[in-house]
Structure 1
């Protein structure tokens, strides 16, 4: 009976350590992703304090300008809002410009891209961080039926 209790106590302790380390690891991943988004925002030339970064959240830069934040892999709501807000097709070309940037510049190991758009959702930035820490930032703007982009140096 004592041997069984010792074994059960040992298994419980191993389970607690495993669950604790898994929670700790997931917090590190979330912090790492947020850190990459903050680096990308800084690379865009936008200074923001450590704000909560959630999709479709409005963040305010040091000049008081408001930006809509989005993570590339979770931009479905952003695209739907573009479709609802404008009669013209802003969303389709927006998807295309993201694809064009990724096809030309993305490499394995790059971070999940960060998207910041102004309140009109027709101008902003698309950026990601390379595995070596280099930031690539693209100014994007909707004009006359298409989105244009320019790599910022």
Structure 2
């Protein structure tokens, strides 16, 4: 029954299970989600939080027998829904980044096409080689 209850989590995570005997016949069952493989993104802190149940062995068995209607089943379903939302949000974030990069590329290409080409060398200033028409040979040329 335990493995059947954990199947929704096993589809997304690798799970660690810890059983500890407590006082007065109680047992603590702790389920620890981990990354499924090295390619999957890092887990959010809410995803990696262990699930812990402390009760008698009979109470834990009864709760697990309830399946999806039990507390563990509902918690797992809620976590799966939240994990799906996180995946969707990450994908939307990546899509938005890609769209913004494309828009920036298109804008820079548009402004580069609208700009006139820069001259490669400074314009040459032509200096007169002959004296002005009103210049007198016995007086120096002035700028005024």
Which TM class, normalised by the smaller chain length? under 0.3
Query: More helix by proportion, 1 or 2?
Result: 2
What TM-score does the superposition give when structure 1 sets the normalisation length?
A: 0.26
**Which protein has the larger Cα radius of gyration, Structure 1 or Structure 2?**
2
Which protein, 1 or 2, shows the higher relative CO under an 8 Å CA cutoff with sep ≥ 6?
1
Between structures 1 and 2, the one with greater strand share:
1
